[in-house]
Amino acid sequence: MNGEDAERFAHQASLIIAEGWKQAVRDEGASSGKVRVYERAFEHEDLGRASSLGE
């Protein structure tokens, strides 16, 4: 995988994660409190940087 492909992959993966992680965690039975705890793992500036790659 070259650098351009890696950036495109990171961009696509970050969008999928950003759009779907909360529902996926809820579907697994997590409470609202647990969802808030997991936010730090899924909503941070690195994910924002990844989403800006490969555009």
> Range of 25's domain?
3-51
Contacts of 11 (CB under 8 A, 6+ apart): 50, 51, 52, 53, 54, 55
Structural domains counted in the chain: 1
- The C-alpha atoms of residue 17 and residue 30 are separated, in whole angstroms, by 17
pLDDT in tens, 7-36: 888 888 888 888 888 999 999 999 999 999
Q: Please report the pLDDT score of residue 27 as a whole number.
A: 96
Confidence of residue 53 (pLDDT cuts 50, 70, 90): low
